[in-house]
Chains A and B, each alone.
Chain A
């Protein structure tokens, strides 16, 4: 089987002999691979490998120096053994030796071995870097590419430190070969992604943008990936790329299918480059320049037109390449969301794909339409395809396609079609794959709530949900139906009647028992007039489910029973009997026992009035965002909330619980109640009279989250002004350590979260924010990578860029659950302006000359203050060095005084700072003077430092 050709293009050629007979390359290696393949068992294979390893080891250790060919062959064998899944613990040195060979094939094997078996052995890295350096400066394009590929494949920090400044030079040098430019561009991209702080913008940046004009399409293809990444991080600096990208795109789109020769793929001109260009444009808003915009719209129209032309080839490669561009163009049209004509055309095109015979196209059309549904311009056009989409939900064979259909139905749902869509989704749920049921349930619940005009429909829908997919109905869903029933008295009687009927089923889901118990406990009286649902019948019905339920449900039912005693005095004796029996009052579960004891006592001693007050009907819940919507967003992950849902909640936020019709004119007014992130605390504030607490807690287990309401801001320990590492925060549960490093205007902070308890923290989440003005002063305060569990400590990386000087500190918010209670704390992160200091050494005369130059009154900040800490010389020196400035000796005529100099690097400018600290040991006082080229910096530094000494 393994000699089967993968594709048939030269089917006239005879079947091949295995490559072993081809004779090129290393014969010994081919024999070894054959041997391994002929091994009949795992043991035989291991034996053969061990024999080979022993052989190689002896060759490497032997007295006879190995020639390059043998070394290459053995290193390649080792690599093969490693790729089979065996550990390799020698041969690295020989591989490194191959790097300095003059022969390409030997060098290539050396680099390959290094790239595949990266080793953080620092000794080795130094040698590797040396070899790379030689190859980079060899002016031999083949060797340069090998070296660049190695850096791009390994991408380690050591390599970034060694080469981050060299590679931009190679990339923009006039005499660099095209293939080297391609590799250099992507190599730099890799380094920028792994060590952004080491890749400094500079004169090369503007020249990189102009690579979009390069004659060689391969260079453009490679460079554009780099430009896209850089543009995402520094949009302003790279915005000239927009017009260049548009004109390049326009040239490609309008070219005939043969114009681009090598870059035409199945009659489609440069499909990958076109996609990359369209993607780059998605980093920016629509071009402001009318001419550029006109040209771009023309391109997009041409792409849409081409989709309607008859295909130039029947091959799937042709249509795939063409459609790759089309889908990317549609993404851009949706990104702009400003051209109604294009949006509707895109929608019609996708509509055609919905019925295409290619599953791939149907899938992609459903996915893409999902985002179109959120645009006010195309929402109606999307809705016209509802029947096709419903059909897809019913008939598609691939579950992922059905999932997209369900997503699209959700996205296109509005008041006009909600009943139909919810009904279809409910019926789909009966047979839906287990993997997507929970999400489907949430979606149905949200739609039912959002578009409920008549709340009996809403109640029916949720009860149906519980009936059909009870296991997948999360707490949020059934909490919500109870909230809504409590808040709307027009539906309470109907709800009571419906749950009563639902509970008649012999096997009903436990979630149904919960909802039923709660609702009958509150509103059972509304149906008690009917002898078929008299109080005792209701009670017996509930109690018949009791013994099959879990502890939390039983606890809820006990609360419902005490409510019954209040609602229906005639049930008191029966219920007291139940409470009094051993299985309740001596239940081994503390919670159940306590409830039974307390409720029994309450019902015996309290007067009717007291009972009525304590067990009064629940007050309405405060209106807020549906907790289910928050859950759906959480499920999809913060980054993955689709545009649809964001847009949706923006449009619909105001009418979660009833409200007027949605017109297109209200589309862009965000409602204050819409919390787009869905992270608002769900604790009901003040909704619970303490006496009715037990029932409330059943429905709102989060009611205990008092800590989430009192969230004090923990101030920054002042020692971190002069220190980069240490313990930032510690309490009984959690320790937070930090390590940070700064270079120029960039910083990187490692946060270590240590769990001091033996219990796992649930839902641990962290966010960093820059309050107020700070946002415009510090850029890219983003946390890298999702949290990784590592024993009891997890680590997180934060990248920081200083745009201009600032005074506030960014905030770190941490949330997690410990033993059921939500812990919520907010800390100031020790990012202060002095972190971006570069020390400046200068002579005494230089210092005082600059000191004089900075003589405008606002440039100086001065403070005289009492010493708070030791005035010991060494301590002071350590602090001043920790500040980041250069501590200058022999500058101040008074040897007791300290003077420092440094430059604060922000993205936009450099601020020179001079500092003078004059201690007076006798008086235990200091005088601190700062002179900076920017007055706000003088003031801020003075404030910061006055607390340090």
Chain B
């Protein structure tokens, strides 16, 4: 299952950190830095997977942003890789062509998108139509 989700830019700024495991604040900071260090040195010829402590990171780069999901070593790499893409496509629809700034200014909405699609470290909903419908409904609420 998912241990955490991180969205970072190339400079290492965190755009989203979602934790599904108990870590204290120092540990979180350390993880964020370590993930940035292992992911940014890799190029397009490398796999989208990196061993990470006792886990593995499945990541994918979109423009200047790295979307990283830390999962157990026995988890299905490709399912989570496409889980990331599915999530990014939802963000893209929701923010009408998503860019990094959207995530900065609407950080509190991004959490809602995450919770619709991933919960308790598991995949909750995979249908883009269903997620977007729900997000639009929430958007319309006061």
Contact = CB atoms under 8 A, between A and B. Distances in A.
Contacts of B83: 272
Given A152-B119, A225-B123, A637-B54, A359 B108 contact: no
A574 interface: no
A133 B68 CA distance: 34
Given A221-B124, A401-B47, A2 B100 contact: yes
A2 B64 contact: yes
B82 A179 contact: no
A734 B59 CA distance: 44
Interface residues of A, number: 78
Contacts of B119: 149, 152, 182-183, 186-187, 222
Interface stretch (A75-83, A555-563, A692-700): A75-83
Interface in A286-343: 317, 320-321, 323-324, 327-328
B134 interface: yes
**Interface size band for B:** 35 or more
Contacts of B9: 2
Interface string B47-81: 11111001000000011110000000100111101
A217 B122 CA distance: 15
A105 interface: yes
A4 B64 contact: yes
A24 B108 CA distance: 13
A865 interface: no
Interface in B81-122: 81-83, 85-86, 88-89, 91-92, 95-102, 104-109, 111-112, 115, 119-122
A463 B66 CA distance: 45
B104 A37 contact: yes
A218 interface: yes
B45 interface: yes
A262 B13 CA distance: 34
A890 interface: no
B107 A80 contact: yes
Contacts of B126: 218, 221, 263, 265, 270-273
A889 to B, nearest CB: 44
B47 A265 contact: no
Interface in A196-236: 217-218, 221-222, 225
Contacts of B81: 320, 324, 360
Contacts of B98: 5-7
B104 to A, nearest CB: 6
Interface stretch (A14-22, A509-517, A594-602, A718-726): A14-22
B76 A189 contact: no
Contacts of B125: 182, 218, 221-222
Nearest to A397: B45
B63 A6 contact: yes
B115 A149 contact: yes
A364 B106 contact: no
Interface in A1-58: 1-7, 9-10, 13, 16, 18-20, 24-25, 30, 33, 37
B78 A9 contact: no
B101 A324 contact: no
B97 A10 contact: yes
A640 B73 contact: yes
Nearest to B131: A218
A364 B65 contact: no
B129 to A, nearest CB: 4
A109 interface: yes
A5 B45 contact: no
Contacts of A152: 119-120
A923 to B, nearest CB: 57
A303 B101 CA distance: 41
B105 A359 contact: no
B136 interface: no
B115 to A, nearest CB: 5
Contact of B78 (A85, A221, A360): A360
A644 to B, nearest CB: 14
B47 A218 contact: no
Given A9-B92, A76-B108, A4 B100 contact: yes
A112 interface: yes
A262 B100 CA distance: 27
Contacts of A276: 123
Contacts of B107: 80, 83
B106 A25 contact: yes
A360 B101 contact: no
Interface centre among A37, A109, A270, A275 (most CB of B within 10 A): A275
A360 B99 contact: no
Interface of B: 1, 9, 14, 17, 29, 42, 45-51, 54, 62-65, 73, 76-79, 81-83, 85-86, 88-89, 91-92, 95-102, 104-109, 111-112, 115, 119-130, 134, 137-139, 141-142
7 contacts: A103-B141, A108-B108, A221-B125, A265-B86, A324-B77, A324-B82, A400-B47
Which 5 pairs show the lowest CB-CB distances between chains A and B?
Answer: A324-B78, A2-B100, A6-B62, A190-B120, A104-B141
Given A105-B142, A262-B127, 13 more contacts: A2-B101, A24-B139, A105-B141, A116-B111, A152-B120, A218-B126, A265-B82, A271-B126, A320-B85, A323-B78, A360-B47, A360-B78, A398-B46
